[in-house]
Amino acid sequence: MDEATKISYTSDAQYVDTGTNHNISAAYEPAVSRQLSNLRSFPEGIKNCYTIKPEQANCNKYLIRAIFMYGNYDSKNEPPEFDLYLDGDRWGTIKFKDASANLFFEIIHVPATAYIHVCLVKTSSGTPFISALELRPLDNSIYEMKNGSLKLFTRIDVGSTKNDTVRYSNDIYDRIWSPATSVGFTNSRWKSIQAPFTSGILSSNVYKLPSLVMNTAAIPVNGSDSLDFYWEPEYPNQQIYVYMHFAAIEQLGDGELREFQIYFNDALWIRENINLSYLQPITIYSTASVTADSQLNFSIRRTKNSNRPPILNAIELYEVLQLHSPTDQSEVDAMVNIALTYGLKKNSQGDPCLPMGFSWHWVNCRYNGNNSPQVIGLNLSSSDLNGDIAPALSALKSLQYLDLSNNSLTGPVPEFLAQLPHLEILNLASNDLTGSVPKALSKKSSLSLSLDGNPNLCQSDTCEQTKKKKKNPSTVIIVASVVLSVVLLSAIAILWSLKRRRHTGRTLKSRNRRFTYSEVVTITNNFQKVIGKGGFGSVYLGHLEDGTQVAVKMLSRSSSQGSEQFWTEAELLTTVHHRNLASLIGYCDEGSNTALIYEYMANGNLQECLLDKNRAVLTWEQRLQIAIDAAQALEYLHNGCKPPIIHRDIKTANILLTEKLQAIVADFGLSRIFPDEDGSHITTAVVGTFGYLDPEYYITSRLTEKSDVYSFGVVLLELITGQPAIIKSEENTHIVEWVMPRIERGEISSIADPRLQGDFDSNSVCKMLETAIACVPSSPIQRLTTNQVLGELNECLEIYLASRGPLEIDEVNKSSSRIDYLCDPLDLESSMSGRVHKQGIAQSQQQHEGSDGVVDVGGALM
Alpha carbons 10 and 157: distance in angstroms, whole number: 30
Q: Are 746 and 827 in contact (CB under 8 A)?
A: no
CA-wise closest residue to 436 among 408, 406, 466: 466
Alpha carbons 447 and 828: distance in angstroms, whole number: 46
One-letter amino acid of 91: W
CA-wise closest residue to 321 among 298, 347, 355: 355
CA distances from 399 to 190, 332, 378, 637 (A): 63, 13, 8, 18
Residues 6+ positions from 626 with CB-CB distance below 8 Å: 606, 618, 655, 657, 661, 663, 719
Query: Which three-class secondary structure string do you get for 377-409?
Result: EEECCCCCCEECCCHHHHHCCCCCEEECCCCEE
Q: With left for phi above 0 and alpha for psi between -120 and 50, is residue 738 left, alpha or beta?
A: alpha
SS3 302: strand
Whole-angstrom distance between the N-terminal and C-terminal Cα of the chain?
A: 8
Q: Are 346 and 51 in contact (CB under 8 A)?
A: no
Alpha carbons 392 and 300: distance in angstroms, whole number: 58
Alpha carbons 813 and 277: distance in angstroms, whole number: 51
Q: Are 102 and 32 in contact (CB under 8 A)?
A: yes
Task: Provide the CA 566 distance to its chain's centre, in angstroms.
Answer: 34
SS3 497: helix
Alpha carbons 834 and 853: distance in angstroms, whole number: 45
Residue 565 host element (H or E): helix 560-573
Q: Of 649, 753, 761, 856, which residue is the catalytic one?
A: 649
CA-wise closest residue to 641 among 449, 401, 446, 394: 401
CA-wise closest residue to 145 among 209, 204, 63: 63
Active site residue 649: yes
Q: Tell me which long-range contacts 816-822 makes (C-beta under 8 A, separation of at least 24).
A: 816/749, 816/757, 816/758, 817/758, 818/758, 819/749, 819/752, 819/758, 819/760, 819/762, 820/762, 821/748, 821/749, 821/762, 821/763, 821/765, 821/766, 822/236, 822/762, 822/763, 822/766
SS3 661: coil
- Sign of the CA dihedral 481, 487, 489, 490? positive
Residues 6+ positions from 63 with CB-CB distance below 8 Å: 106, 107, 108, 109, 134, 135, 136, 137, 138, 173, 174, 175
SS3 788: helix
CA-wise closest residue to 439 among 465, 470, 460, 463: 460
Q: Are 797 and 632 in contact (CB under 8 A)?
A: no
SS3 329: helix
Q: What are phi and psi of 540, to 5 degrees?
A: -120, 150
495: number of Cβ within 10 Å: 10
545: number of Cβ within 10 Å: 8
Alpha carbons 768 and 745: distance in angstroms, whole number: 19
Residue 834 host element (H or E): none
- Residues carrying an active site annotation: 649
